[in-house]
Each structure stands twice: as C-alpha cells, then as structure tokens.
Structure 1
Amino acid sequence: MKKRDGLLIGVGIVVILALIWWAGIDETINLILQADLRFLLLALVMQLLATLAWTFRWRIFLKRAEVVVRTRDILMATLVGIFANNLTPGARAGGEPARMYVITKRSNSTYGQVFATIMADRILDVIPVLLFTLIAFKYALSLKIKLLLSVLSLSTAVLLVIVVISLLISLNENLAFRLLSKITNLVKRVFPERFVGIESTIEERLKKSIFEFRETFIELSKDPVVMGKTLFYSLALWIFMLLRAYFIFESIGYHLEIYKILMVQMAGIALGMISILPGGVGITEAVNSALYLSLRIDKSLAVSATVLDRFISFWLPTIIGGGLSIYLGTKSAHKSVRK
C-alpha cells in the first residue's frame, strides 16, 4: 500500500470518528455494543452469500471462456480483488488487475481470456444496479426527498459513464492494449521477479492477449444461457446486500422498510465510486448517514447502523483479502527462491 493511500485512509477514519462524535459518542457506542448478535450474524451471512454470488457469477464466465480453475481459487481472487478495490480511490478499478493476476497464475489461461471475463462480469453487474436505482428513484419521487433524488441522479449518471467506458475498452483494441500495458506495469512493480528475462516479449504477449480478449468477450456476450445465469447471480448479490443492511437495523432495534434501504444503498454507490479516499472510507459513512437522516431517522441510529454495516461489508472483507494477498505474495516468493 502506498504511503499516500495510508494517509488518505487515516483521513477517512478521522471523518468516521468525527461522525460518531457528532451523533453522540455514548449513544452510538451503546447502540453498537447492545446490538442483537442474532441479527448481526444474519447480516454477516448475507455478506458471505453476496461474496459467494459474485464468485459463482464470475465462475460461469470463466467456465464459458474455458478457463479451468478451482472455485476456491476464484473465491480467493475475488477477496483479493475486494482488498485491492478498497485501497483504490475513485472508480475502484484496482481489483481487476489483482483478480486477473491471481486467476492467470492459478490456471493455464492467458491474461486476455481472464481479462475478458472480468470486463463481462463488471459490465453485467451494472444491469441490476441500474434496475434497483430506477426503482429507488421511483420511491424517492413518491416521498419527494430532494437529497435522495439528487444523489440517485448522480448515481445513474456515474454508472452509465462506467458502462460506456467499459464497452469502449472492450471494443477498442488501442484502449484495451493501453489498459493491459498499465496492468502489466502494475503487476511488474508488485512481482518484479516474474518478469525477469521476459521484458522483450511483453509487448508481443500483450498483442496476443488483446486478440484473445476480444474473441473471448464477443463469445461471452453472444451466449444467452451465460447471460441468464450470471444475471440471476447479479440480482441475488444485490438482494443479499440489501438484506444485510436490513438485518443491521434490526440488530439495533429499529425496523426500516427494505425500500428505504434500497434508496440509500443505491444513492450511496456513485459517491463511493468518485470519492478521492480509498474505498470511500469516511465519505460513504457520512453520505449514507445523511441519507438515512433524510428519512427522519435519529442521527445516533443512522450512524450506528452505517458504522456496523461498513464494518461487515468493508472492513472485514478488506482484512481477509489483505491476509490472502500477503499469503499469495509469500507463497510466490518461496516458489521463486526454489527455482
């Protein structure tokens, strides 16, 4: 992790602490400590199911692309990707190179093949998000909440931009080549021993990967069975995430309708993506708390629920993914020493 990213995460933690102080330290801490463990466990299960749904969705793309890899390796790559995403400011694209590297090294596939499955996976994930955002927009209109309407509009615009950029990269060889070059340079800095003696052949390999990427991506996009199965997992993933927040509120003794959670979750996505802080640390907590407040929820309840939800959805996966990243890095170093 870069020193700058560490400092930015520190800034985000300060924002979270300030948020807790604003909501009332005693009230917030008491609500968190007295939370019903049964509902917290259910929220944790929902997060686990969401992660598994993501893993199974990606596995379908990988299988269709004839990438032979174990499910546990896909799960490991997903968690490492989450870790990298949570350390990346902005659109959180740091997870894609990490996922691609792990799967390529644990299968007999090429970067081009795996990259195609990742792009298809990312593009498809936007479909249910847009669907849920439109539903949330409809509820926000009926409630006439200006803050929610404004943020949801921003979310929709940001998501559409992401889809357009992803499609441009997928269909434009020059853009894809430049992106793969940047990914290769990033991986080279992290694992320099893997590139010793092959620097002269990297460009040739990248060009081959681009051809394989486009061929694989087109095949994936034309398969209706693959699209149907992956869309099912995409919808399941987001339903589990909504239920996670629902159980969080239940754990602190507040019943919040699922459609209100939908509005807040969908509205908060875009601001997390365009945040200058890694993983939206601090910004996401502040925005979600403000959105819950717009629903006339007490500030201590709003902040407590947001902090608990982010602990389960952000901090725990980041810690697990970070541990796996260290494990894989150590294992790779040992293999290099043996060679």
Structure 2
Amino acid sequence: MKHKGSLLIVIGVAALAAMILIIGPGEIEEALRKADPIYVAMAVALEFIILALFTIRWSITTGAVSIDVEKRHLFPMLLVGMAINNLTPSARGGGEPVRAYILGRYSRASMESAFATVIADRGLDTFPFIFLAIITIIGMVLYFDLSQWILTALVASVAIIVAAFFLALYVSIDRDAGERITGWILGILKRFYRKNHERLEMRVRSALHEFQSTMRIMLADRRVLLYGIPVSFLLWILEIIRVYLVFAAFGADISLLVIAEVFILATLIGMIPLLPGGLGAVDGIMIVFYSYAGVSPSVSAAATVVERLISFWLISAMGVAVIPYFGSSVSEKLMDKL
C-alpha cells in the first residue's frame, strides 16, 4: 500500500505538472505574482475556522455516546485522518478507520463505539452534499454545454452516493439487516481464517451489536441532527467561500454559484479511488471548468494551485506533523499507511 500510494502521488503530481506545462509556467507565475496576499491570508484563516468546525461537529457525535475526549485532542486526530485520506488512494475513506483507532486508543473507548462516531460524523456531510450535488447538476445543465454521458455519469454518481448512504444507515441500525451482512462477511472470512470459527463469529457479531447500539444512541440524540446538520451546511458554504477568496486574490470575475458548482463536481471526482485525494484529477477538472466559465487558463491554474496548497497540501502536512503527538506505537502504525 505504501509503495502504491507513493506511486499514485507521483502520477497525480505529474498530471498536474503536465497541465501547467500546457497552459504555460510563465503565465501562471505572472498570475501568482499579482495575487493579493490579503485575500490569500483570509482564505488560510478561513481554512482554520473550517477545521475548528469539523472538530466541533465530531465532538457532537462523541458527546452523544459519552466518549470522554476534549476538542483539543480531537483536532489532531481529525488532521491525521484528513492526511490519510489525502495521501492514500482510498476514495477519501481510509482516514476514518484511522480516526476511530486513535480515538479508541486515546479515550479508551471501544473501537466499535469510536468508529460509530466517525461514521455518524461523515454521515452528517451527506445531507448537504446531496442537496448541493442536485443543485450543481441543474446548474451544470444551465451554465455548461456538457455531453449526455457526462450528465449521466454525474446523476449516476449522486444516485449511487444516496443509495450507499441509506443502505449503510439501514445496516447500521437494523439488527436483521446487520446480521445478514455479517453472515455474508463471515462466509468470506472463514475461507481464509481456518481456525476457531466460532470465536471469530462471536467477536464479529459482538462488534456489530456494539456498533449498531452506538449508532442508535446517536440517532436518538436530537443534538446530533439538530446541531450536526446545520454545522455541515455551514462547512460546505465556508469551503466554497474559501475558493471564492482565492479567486478574488487574482481579481477573477467569477460568480460564487459557478465556484460552488465546480467545487461540488471536483468533490465528486475526488471520490474516485484511483488517486490519493483525487490528486491531479481534481486539479485538472477545476482548471478546465473555471477556464470554461470565462476565467483565463493562467489565472484558473494559479488559483487552483493556491487553493489546493491551502486545502490539500497544508492539511496533509499538518496531519503528518502531528502524528508523533499520539506516541511512538501509534506513530509507527500510521506511518506505514503513508
């Protein structure tokens, strides 16, 4: 995994470099020199506000099941999870088990309960994402002359995400559905796990029951939905505003609506598990569509580079930097994933 992730990072960077060469490094460099540092600083400051809100949202789910951990400890856990998602080809999902593992080790909560809080935290993202994705598809039809197959792919992607979300939610809280899925998983595991089948089955079913119990407790807590969903909507809005601030730094004449549409589209592309964090693909999509919206290719590329430096590379560097915070034993396991 480590070598594969490293190779994919190289491929992603090479793809971005190739696009920069096509546009012209000189033109992009000239655009970067004209960037207003005040707007860039505002975008960086907004990113830290976004990280604080991510931490607050996660604390809502941990608090619902009485996991005793302070926000100042959740923050570095969140950064590590984001770094794992960014730097491994995991469809933005590899960081969630890591967050649960660290939370369980640090708070001494069970892995099942810790993982449930992380799943619930990510699940809260789904509500605003579905809403914004539908708006984006409508906007794409109005603003961009897209081919039929691209529109079909976008609609199919959103439909798959919606179906997967509700299926995961159903399995997470319905005991019978969980038992059926567990039986299917056990059937696969038994082919490779030759000894102590009864012990394996007991452990898996016990883990499932605790996970489902934790999920039901959180869903029954009104604070999770009452506070979690508004915070999730606010997070998406602030992320879009962050991109807008970066373009404002270059004096680009582009509407907030177009930025929102491209941002959601890039997020969909970033979910494809081929490149870490959608590296290369996301950057390319953003540059192409911003240029298509009327922004010059050099400014589109320069703004995208700056935006990704803030939202991708800065977060990744911070996440890797705080790994030693959790001790040598945890650090060794986490570094093996990178």
TM-score where L is the length of structure 2: 0.85
Match of 2:92 in 1: 92
Query: Residues 174 and 307 (structure 1 numbering): CA distance in 2 closer, same or farther, change over 3 Å?
Result: farther
Match of 1:306 in 2: 304
1:46-57 equivalence runs, <5 A = 46-57=46-57
Query: Residues 105 and 201 (structure 1 numbering): CA distance in 2 closer, same or farther, change over 3 Å?
Result: farther
Distance in 1 separating the partners of 2:301 and 2:154: 20
* Structure 1 range deviating more: 2-11 or 322-331: 322-331
Contact 1:112/1:210 (CA < 8 Å) preserved in 2? yes
Query: Residues 170 and 27 (structure 1 numbering): CA distance in 2 closer, same or farther, change over 3 Å?
Result: same
Contact 2:8/2:89 (CA < 8 Å) preserved in 1? no
Match of 1:258 in 2: 256
Contact 1:159/1:270 (CA < 8 Å) preserved in 2? no
Match of 2:291 in 1: 293
> How many residue pairs were aligned?
316
Tell me, which stretches of 5 or more residues in structure 1 are unaligned?
181-199, 335-339
Distance in 2 separating the partners of 1:331 and 1:4: 23
| Aligned residue identity for 2:24 | G
Look up the SS of the partner of 1:276 in the other structure.
coil
User: What is the CA distance between 1:6 and its match in structure 2?
Assistant: 0.5
| Aligned residue identity for 1:293 | S
Match of 1:321 in 2: 319
| Aligned residue identity for 1:221 | L
| Aligned residue identity for 2:85 | N
Distance in 2 separating the partners of 1:329 and 1:302: 41
**C-alpha distance after superposition, 1:233-255 (max 9, x if no partner):** 10111111001100000111213
1:1-339 equivalence runs, <5 A = 2-146=2-146, 149=151, 152-164=154-166, 166-167=168-169, 169-171=171-173, 172-173=178-179, 175=181, 206-330=204-328, 332=330
TM-score where L is the length of structure 1: 0.85
**C-alpha distance after superposition, 1:48-99 (max 9, x if no partner):** 1111111111100100111110111111111010011112325221111110
Identity of aligned residues (%): 30
Query: Residues 332 and 122 (structure 1 numbering): CA distance in 2 closer, same or farther, change over 3 Å?
Result: closer
> For the aligned residues, what is the CA RMSD?
2.7
Query: Residues 28 and 174 (structure 1 numbering): CA distance in 2 closer, same or farther, change over 3 Å?
Result: farther
Distance in 2 separating the partners of 1:290 and 1:154: 22
User: What is the CA distance between 1:297 and its match in structure 2?
Assistant: 2.0
User: What is the CA distance between 1:268 and its match in structure 2?
Assistant: 1.2
Contact 2:254/2:294 (CA < 8 Å) preserved in 1? no
| Aligned residue identity for 1:129 | F
